[in-house]
C-alpha cells in the first residue's frame, strides 16, 4: 500500500488528506502530519494504515478540544467531561489532558484566577458565590481557596458596586427586589442591609 498523494483540504485549513493507492484514506492536522513524517510515495502496511486512521480520529478530537477551549477558558474537568461526551477512551482523554497541560493550554489555577477576575469586573458577586461556581467546575478546593483569598477582593466593595450598578435599572429601585437579587448573588442579609443603609446616606 502506497501513499499516492497528500493534499491540503479546501474546507478545513491546516488539515491534509492522505490518499493511499489512489483513494482517500485518512486526514491529519499539519502538526500531526509533521510528527508522522509521512510523505508521498511511502509504503505502508495494512496495520500501519489502520493505525494512522485511528490517529486521524484522535487528532480530530484534539482539534475539536482546541476549538472548545478557544470559545472561553475551561477547567480541566470541563474539558474532560467534553471528551467523555464525545465517547473518547479513558486513555485518549488522559493523553489529551496531559498534552494540553504541557502546552500551557489547561491550568486550573490560571482558569480560576481568570474566572474570578472576569466575574468581579463584569458582574461583581460574593466570594461565597464565586466559590460555589468554581466548585461546580470541579476546580480543586486548595486552588479555589488560594485564588479567592488572593484575588477575590472584598465582599463589601463588590456589594457596593453591585448596588450602584443595579440602581440604574428601573426594576431595582424597589428595595425588596434589589435585596432578593443580592441574596441570590450570595451576599448575607446583614451585609445587604448595611450596604443599602450606606447608599441611603450618600
- Which CATH number do you get for residue 20? 1.10.10.10
- Which one, of 130, 117, 181, lies nearest residue 196 by Cα? 181
Whole-angstrom Cα distance, residue 189 to residue 177? Answer: 13
Give yes or no: residues 150 and 74 share one domain.
no
Last residue within a domain, chosen from 67, 102, 137: 102
| Total number of domains constituting the chain | 2
Whole-angstrom Cα distance, residue 147 to residue 196? Answer: 28
Domain boundaries, position 175: 108-201
Give yes or no: residues 93 and 113 share one domain.
no
Question: Reduced to 3 states, what is the DSSP secondary structure of residue 33?
Answer: helix
Owner of C-alpha cell 490517529: 55
| Strand pairing class (3-8; 15-20) | antiparallel
pLDDT tens digits for 58-72? 999 999 999 999 998
Give yes or no: residues 130 and 167 share one domain.
yes
Q: Which residues contact 71 (CB under 8 A, 6 or more apart)?
A: none
pLDDT tens digits for 16-69? 999 999 999 999 998 889 988 999 999 999 999 999 999 999 999 999 999 999
Amino acid at each position: 500500500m502506497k501513499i499516492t498523494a497528500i493534499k491540503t483540504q479546501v474546507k478545513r485549513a491546516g488539515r491534509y488528506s492522505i490518499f493511499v493507492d489512489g483513494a482517500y484514506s485518512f486526514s491529519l492536522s499539519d502538526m500531526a502530519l509533521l510528527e508522522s513524517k509521512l510523505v508521498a510515495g511511502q509504503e505502508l502496511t495494512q496495520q500501519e494504515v489502520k493505525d494512522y486512521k485511528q490517529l486521524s480520529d484522535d487528532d480530530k478530537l484534539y482539534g475539536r478540544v482546541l476549538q472548545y477551549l478557544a470559545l472561553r477558558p475551561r477547567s480541566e474537568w470541563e474539558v474532560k467531561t467534553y471528551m467523555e461526551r464525545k465517547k473518547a477512551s479513558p486513555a485518549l482523554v488522559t493523553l489529551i489532558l496531559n498534552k494540553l497541560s504541557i502546552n500551557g493550554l489547561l491550568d486550573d489555577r490560571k482558569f480560576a484566577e481568570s474566572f474570578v477576575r472576569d466575574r468581579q469586573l463584569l458582574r461583581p458577586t460574593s466570594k461565597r458565590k464565586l466559590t460555589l461556581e468554581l466548585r461546580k467546575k470541579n476546580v480543586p478546593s486548595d486552588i479555589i481557596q488560594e485564588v479567592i483569598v488572593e484575588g477575590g477582593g472584598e465582599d463589601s466593595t463588590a456589594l457596593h458596586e453591585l448596588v450602584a450598578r443595579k440602581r440604574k435599572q428601573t426594576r431595582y429601585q424597589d428595595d425588596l427586589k434589589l435585596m432578593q437579587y443580592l441574596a441570590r448573588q450570595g451576599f448575607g442579609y446583614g451585609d445587604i442591609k448595611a450596604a443599602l443603609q450606606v447608599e441611603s446616606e450618600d
